[in-house]
């Protein structure tokens, strides 16, 4: 009897693959999208042309980054129809898959900052300066204000995401410097600093995320053993609390914050199988 | 909450807001200064046909590179960080690969934001820059009275944008390549084909060729 109950309460043993399933899928998506862009210049396979700012898929579907277009608009340029439909397509896509799914499933800088986070933990770098959570919103507002005042697409002058991605597809120049700076910032200055506190692109996609359909839910939160693994691995741990440890026991298990990147790392690390991908209407099980 | 605590928390809130707002201001000023710096195009770089004037172009171009991909001659580039051109925006170097002036202007057609304007329907109306005989001292025709007319032969707007005009100087007759700016599209063929070591005829970006320091003061 004792042995049986021990067996039941022991965490389910899972292999390396199972413990990193969503991470592997995510990296495949990030690298796959990059590969689609690079297959043109490298192998002459032109399925996806352009870059993350604007692109065309199979010569039919136009895609445009809505934040870049918004800056162009406030800078005083009349929005062209092609760009507008492209931006609306992108918004529609992220309303379905989760706003900041852009951050964890598409953005190439995420690979850089995740690497910095991993190394930071390996090297046991504890010292960290954490800016306020609202910092990225201020930077977003500033980027828009500067766009208005100078008539330029201001954030694109410094945006490491498009710089890295454009660099890989079209030619790097000194963009490595910016990427290295982001890496070092996350490694030595600020834990998860860039993506979780500074980047206004993430803040922007987070607003789309508030409406998003696909969400992570703590549907089996009653099985939670308070080990804290999900908090430690999550780039935005505050989003978990209301879904996992709500004040009301009947509260929704859905992680509804726009800050959640739908990266699925909590699903990977949870030994008690608490989390699931589902819709925003998921119910406790 | 007692009044003291209330006003204390209010003070704290205001202080943090002021702090963040000033930090944002610093970032904004740096960004604004940087954006001002990158508004001029250097003498050696030209925009693709149909490009809006430089100031408007910086608001319109999203640096996607679809024009680069659309160019059948693969002569457009996106500026890399560290170059004197706004990072990520398209340009070409006439001396290296001039614009072939495709009839259907595929680069402009591919532009999703109309930074390369679709109002340009006849590529012969393009204004990528304007050719200037910068090297009267090196030009074979002018300086040596040679029978060179490489630029004239290269010009796609034949007999209109560049003509060879007979001149007499010190009793010596010669033919001078003469640019007619109203006809010149700035394609850069003349600069590309010029036989002197450094091109004696160059296409300058309009913002540079037609820049008036008094007008903007």
Residue B98 has pLDDT above 70, yes or no: yes
- CA-nearest of B178, B191, B181 to B93 is B191
Asked if B28 has any chain A CB less than 8 Å from its own CB, the reply is yes
The secondary structure of residue A214, as a DSSP letter, is E
Neighboring chain A residues of B56 at a CB cutoff of 8 Å: 76-77, 151
The Cα of B86 is separated from the nearest Cα of chain A by a number of Å equal to 8
* pLDDT given for residue A4 in this prediction: 54
- Mean pLDDT across A198-226: 92
- Residue A1 pLDDT class (50, 70, 90 cuts): very low
Neighboring chain A residues of B36 at a CB cutoff of 8 Å: 150
- Mean pLDDT across A199-216: 93
Average pLDDT, chain A: 90
In B62-216, DSSP assigns E strands to 77-78, 90-91, 130-133, 162-169, 172-179, 201-204
* pLDDT given for residue B17 in this prediction: 77
Neighboring chain A residues of B59 at a CB cutoff of 8 Å: 72, 75-77, 147, 151-153
Average pLDDT, chain B: 88
Spatial distance between the Cα atoms of A142 and A71, rounded to a whole number of angstroms: 11
B 69-108 → A contacts, CB under 8 A: 69, 77-83, 86-88
Helix axes A21-43, A109-122, angle to 10 degrees: 130
Question: Do A153 and B62 make contact, defined as CB atoms within 8 angstroms?
Answer: yes
Spatial distance between the Cα atoms of A187 and A170, rounded to a whole number of angstroms: 27
Asked if B26 has any chain A CB less than 8 Å from its own CB, the reply is no
Of A68, A76, A170, the CB nearest to B68: A170
Spatial distance between the Cα atoms of B92 and A70, rounded to a whole number of angstroms: 27
Q: Which residue has the higher pLDDT, A248 or B73?
A: B73
Dig out the tokens for A77 from the structure.
């340029």
Whether the Cβ atoms of residue A259 and residue A235 lie closer than 8 Å to each other: no
Secondary structure (3-state) at B43: coil
* pLDDT given for residue A203 in this prediction: 95
What are the pLDDT digits (tens) for A23-42?
Answer: 999 999 999 999 999 998 89
* pLDDT given for residue A18 in this prediction: 84
Question: Do B31 and A138 make contact, defined as CB atoms within 8 angstroms?
Answer: no
What are the pLDDT digits (tens) for A169-193?
Answer: 998 888 899 999 999 999 988 899 9
Whether the Cβ atoms of residue B77 and residue A171 lie closer than 8 Å to each other: yes
Give the residue ranges of DSSP H helices in A185-285: 193, 200-209, 229-233, 241-244, 265-269
| Residue % of chain A over a pLDDT of 70 | 95
Asked if B24 has any chain A CB less than 8 Å from its own CB, the reply is yes
Residue B24 has pLDDT above 80, yes or no: no
* pLDDT given for residue B36 in this prediction: 66
Residue B37 has pLDDT above 70, yes or no: no
Residue A138 has pLDDT above 60, yes or no: yes
- Closest-CA residue in chain A for B28? A142
* pLDDT given for residue A12 in this prediction: 58
- Mean pLDDT across B75-80: 93
* pLDDT given for residue B213 in this prediction: 73
Helix axes A160-170, A109-122, angle to 10 degrees: 110
- Closest-CA residue in chain B for A172? B80
What are the pLDDT digits (tens) for B38-72?
Answer: 567 888 999 999 999 888 998 999 999 999 999 99
Question: Do A72 and B62 make contact, defined as CB atoms within 8 angstroms?
Answer: yes
A 44-73 → B contacts, CB under 8 A: 46, 49-51, 53-56, 62, 64-65, 68-69, 72
A 206-235 → B contacts, CB under 8 A: none
- CA-nearest of A157, A172, A201, A169 to A51 is A169
Asked if A143 has any chain B CB less than 8 Å from its own CB, the reply is yes
The secondary structure of residue A13, as a DSSP letter, is P
Question: Do B87 and A79 make contact, defined as CB atoms within 8 angstroms?
Answer: no
Bridge partner residues of A50 (DSSP): A55
Angle, CA of A146, A149 and A153, to the nearest 5°: 50
Write down the pTM of the prediction. 0.85
Asked if B112 has any chain A CB less than 8 Å from its own CB, the reply is yes
Spatial distance between the Cα atoms of B176 and B48, rounded to a whole number of angstroms: 28
Spatial distance between the Cα atoms of A241 and A203, rounded to a whole number of angstroms: 20
- Mean pLDDT across B61-90: 92
Interface predicted TM-score of the whole assembly (ipTM), two decimals: 0.84
Asked if A159 has any chain B CB less than 8 Å from its own CB, the reply is no
């Amino acid at each position: 009897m004792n042995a049986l109950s021990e067996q039941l309460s022991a965490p389910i043993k899972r292999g390396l693959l199972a413990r990193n399933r969503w991470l592997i899928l995510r990296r495949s998506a990030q690298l796959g999208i990059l590969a689609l862009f690079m297959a043109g210049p490298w192998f002459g396979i032109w399925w996806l042309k352009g870059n993350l700012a604007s692109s065309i898929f199979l010569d039919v579907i136009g895609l445009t980054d809505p934040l870049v277009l918004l800056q162009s608009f406030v800078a005083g340029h009349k929005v062209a129809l092609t760009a507008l439909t492209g931006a609306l397509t992108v918004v529609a896509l992220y309303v379905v898959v989760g706003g900041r799914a852009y951050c964890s499933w598409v953005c190439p800088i995420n690979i850089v900052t995740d690497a910095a986070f991993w190394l930071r933990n390996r090297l046991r770098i504890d010292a960290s300066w954490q800016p306020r959570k609202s910092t990225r919103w201020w930077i977003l507002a500033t980027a828009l204000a500067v766009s208005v005042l100078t008539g330029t697409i201001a954030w694109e002058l410094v945006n490491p995401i498009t710089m890295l991605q454009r660099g890989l597809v079209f030619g790097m120049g000194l963009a490595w410097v910016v990427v290295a700076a982001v890496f070092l910032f996350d490694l030595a200055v600020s834990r998860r600093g860039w993506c979780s506190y500074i980047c206004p692109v993430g803040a922007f996609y987070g607003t789309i995320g508030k409406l998003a359909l696909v969400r992570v839910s703590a549907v089996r939160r009653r099985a939670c053993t308070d080990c804290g693994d999900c908090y430690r691995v999550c780039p935005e741990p505050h989003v978990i609390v209301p879904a996992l440890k709500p004040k009301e026991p009947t509260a929704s298990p859905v992680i509804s914050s726009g800050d959640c990147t739908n990266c699925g790392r909590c699903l990977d690390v949870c030994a008690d199988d608490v989390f699931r991908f589902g819709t925003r209407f998921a119910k406790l099980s | 909450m007692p009044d003291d605590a209330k006003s204390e928390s209010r003070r704290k809130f205001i202080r943090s807001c002021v702090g963040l707002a000033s930090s944002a201001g610093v970032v904004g000023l740096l960004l604004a200064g940087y954006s001002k710096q990158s508004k001029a195009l250097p003498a050696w770089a030209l925009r693709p046909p149909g490009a809006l004037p430089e100031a408007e172009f910086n608001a319109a171009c999203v640096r996607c590179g679809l024009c680069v991909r659309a160019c059948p001659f693969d002569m457009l580039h996106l500026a890399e960080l560290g170059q004197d051109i706004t990072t990520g925006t398209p340009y070409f170097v006439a001396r290296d690969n001039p614009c072939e002036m495709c009839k259907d202007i595929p680069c402009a057609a591919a532009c999703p934001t109309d930074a390369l304007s679709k109002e340009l329907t006849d590529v012969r109306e393009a204004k990528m820059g304007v050719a200037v005989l910068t090297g009267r001292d090196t030009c074979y025709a002018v300086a040596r009275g040679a029978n060179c007319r490489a630029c004239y032969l290269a010009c796609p707007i034949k007999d209109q944008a560049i003509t060879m005009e007979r001149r007499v100087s010190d009793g010596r007759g010669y033919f001078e390549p003469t640019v007619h700016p109203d006809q010149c599209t700035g394609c850069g063929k003349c600069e590309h084909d010029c036989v002197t070591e450094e091109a004696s005829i160059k296409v300058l970006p309009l913002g540079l060729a037609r820049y008036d320091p008094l007008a903007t003061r």
